[in-house]
């Protein structure tokens, strides 16, 4: 069974599921402009590194698709230079929506490169626009098959590790952080893809997932996806990871990534680093699962990864369905946002991501395979998996 898709496409029309309302309300909202795409990414109506890259690319493709169909054609389709002057600022603007996930910059850079190649090849503006549409759609399309590939690589690797230590490779308990499933990607997921693969191949006992506060990607989104996929799962609060590792047989931790530096240092949802420190203490394999497009070879190590800090207010609020459940006039569950801190609290530390040093990571899995560190090394050579 496929999970809920974060983006729906029909010709040049795009809709996204409003992740702020999940899991109690499944509402698709149309994205009809670059500005709406920027706002949806910034406000986290759509989130997850690959998904925001896909939306940015599709928003540009759909903007150009509408332009090509309109009569009279807009003036920016009259010359390649005019097209560049129209599109480049839009790419730059989309890129500013969120800073940490490299996929957003990767998607906008790919479109900028396609634009420049068209200009260099002396193509006319309409042909370049059509090339950009194809490139934008390819960015979204490529995601699902590469997720399936990395899920298989990582799943088989973990089963093998367990067998090497004398285990059967069956009934594995695997923990994850945040949400890395079909809502965070174009389908199947990265770390959640690995867990899905283990379930589909009969190797999984339970998927454990942290709530991932303050945005609750775990308790709202991963819980929802695992339920729809009928994968046995157990939620824990972020502060319970140490306890889980002390009292349960956890075969591995699989997490996604927003940006992986050349040495393997990995930025991912805040709380990932805590889990990695505890995993090292307990000798549990810690696996990062992410597409090649999440690896930023321009950055030597994690110290140069820009970390997004979200508005303080977001850490003071919790949104959800009123409980006991009640239906509102539209027949949907009434939702509310409540403040859980005293009014006027100003001192709030709210980084959205943290960086896990390569030293604490056992394996980095991409669609090309599994990288592990050479014996005695604290960083990865990622050249074989990028
Ligand atoms: O702030 P978010 O929800 O966009 O953060 C998402 C994560 O940290 C994910 O783990 C990461 O983007 C990988 S998604 C396949």
Q: Sign of the C-alpha dihedral, residues 177, 105, 386, 135?
A: positive
Mean pLDDT of 52-60: 98
Give catalytic residues, as residue numbers: 258
Tell me, in angstroms, the distance from the centre of ligand 1 to residue 184's CA.
Answer: 7
pLDDT the model gives residue 2: 72
Predicted confidence (pLDDT) at residue 178 exceeds the cutoff of 70: yes
pTM of this prediction exceeds 0.80:
yes
Q: Work out which ligand 1 atom sits closest to the CA atom of 49.
A: 12
Of 3-12, 160-169, 185-194, 349-358, least confident by mean pLDDT is 3-12
Grouping H, G, I as helix, E, B as strand and the rest as coil, residue 121 is coil
Long-range CB contacts (< 8 A, 24+ apart) of 10-17? 11/65, 12/61, 12/62, 12/65, 12/66, 12/69, 13/62, 14/55, 14/58, 14/59, 14/62, 16/40, 16/45, 16/46, 16/55, 17/46, 17/183
Q: Indicate if ligand 1 lies below 6 Å from the C-beta of 272.
A: no
Distance (Å) from CA 342 to ligand 1 centroid: 29
Q: Which residue has the tokens 């729906």?
A: 8
List, in sequence order, the alpha helices (H) in 96-211.
102-120, 125-164, 191-200
The answer to whether the CB of 10 falls within 8 A of the CB of 39 is no
Q: Look at residue 125 and tell me whether its pLDDT is greater than 90.
A: yes
Q: What was the pLDDT predicted at 337?
A: 96
Give 94's pLDDT tier (boundaries 50, 70, 90).
very high
pLDDT for position 68: 97
Share of the chain above pLDDT 90, in %: 96
Instruction: Decide if pLDDT at 76 tops 70.
Output: yes
Asked whether residue 3 carries a pLDDT value surpassing 90, the answer given is: no
Residue 108's pLDDT band, with cuts at 50, 70 and 90, is: very high
- For residue range 130-145, what is the model confidence (pLDDT) as tens digits? 999 999 999 999 999 9
- Work out which ligand 1 atom sits closest to the CA atom of 267: 8
- Ligand 1 pocket mutation, candidates 3, 41, 48, criterion most atoms within 8 A of CB: 48
| Ligand 1 contact via 47 beta carbon (within 6 Å) | yes
Residue 1, pLDDT score:
61
Q: In terms of C-beta density within 10 A (0-12 exposed, 13-18 middle, 19 or more buried), how is residue 15 classed?
A: middle
- The pLDDT of residue 313 is 95
Check pocket membership of 258 for ligand 1, CB cut-off 6 A: yes
Q: Dump pLDDT digits (tens) for 227-281.
A: 999 999 999 999 999 999 999 999 999 999 999 999 999 999 999 999 999 999 9
**ipTM score assigned to the predicted complex:** 0.98
Give 270 Cα–ligand 1 centroid separation in angstroms.
Answer: 10
Nearest in space to 6 (alpha carbons), one of 40, 34, 43, 42: 40
**High-pLDDT (> 70) share of the chain, %:** 100
């Amino acid at each position: 069974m496929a999970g809920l898709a974060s983006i729906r496409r029909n010709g040049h029309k795009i809709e996204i599921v409003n992740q702020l309302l999940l899991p109690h309300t499944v509402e698709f909202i149309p994205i009809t402009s670059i500005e709406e795409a920027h706002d949806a990414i910034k406000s986290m109506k759509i989130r997850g590194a690959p998904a925001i890259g896909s939306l940015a690319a599709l928003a540009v493709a759909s903007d150009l698709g509408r332009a090509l169909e309109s009569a009279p054609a807009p003036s920016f389709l009259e010359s390649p230079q005019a097209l560049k002057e129209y599109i480049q600022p839009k790419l730059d603007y989309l890129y500013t929506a969120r800073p940490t996930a490299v996929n957003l910059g990767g998607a906008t850079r790919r479109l900028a490169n396609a634009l420049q190649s068209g200009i260099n090849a002396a193509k006319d503006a309409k042909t370049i626009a059509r090339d950009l549409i194809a490139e934008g759609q390819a960015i979204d399309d490529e995601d699902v098959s590469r997720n399936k590939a990395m899920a298989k690589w990582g799943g088989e690797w973990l089963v093998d590790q367990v067998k090497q230590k004398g285990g059967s490779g069956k009934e594995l308990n695997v923990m994850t952080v945040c949400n890395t499933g079909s809502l965070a990607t174009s389908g199947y997921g990265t770390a959640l893809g690995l867990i899905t693969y283990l379930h589909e191949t009969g190797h999984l006992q339970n998927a454990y997932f942290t709530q991932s506060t303050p945005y609750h990607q775990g308790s709202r989104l991963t819980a929802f996806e695992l339920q729809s996929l009928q994968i046995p799962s157990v939620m824990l609060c972020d502060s319970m990871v140490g306890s889980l590792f002390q009292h349960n047989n956890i075969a591995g931790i699989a997490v996604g990534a927003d940006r992986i530096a050349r040495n393997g240092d990995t930025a991912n949802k805040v709380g990932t680093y805590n889990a990695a420190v505890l995993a090292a203490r307990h000798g549990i394999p810690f696996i990062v699962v992410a597409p090649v497009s999440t690896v930023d070879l321009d950055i030597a190590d994690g110290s140069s990864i820009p970390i997004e800090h979200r508005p303080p207010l977001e850490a003071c609020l919790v949104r959800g369905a009123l409980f006991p459940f009640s239906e509102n006039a539209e027949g949907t569950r009434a939702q509310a946002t409540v403040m859980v801190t005293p009014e006027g609290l100003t001192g709030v530390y709210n980084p959205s991501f943290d960086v896990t040093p390569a030293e604490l990571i056992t394996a980095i899995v991409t669609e090309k395979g599994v990288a592990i560190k050479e014996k005695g090394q604290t960083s990865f050579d990622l050249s074989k998996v990028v």
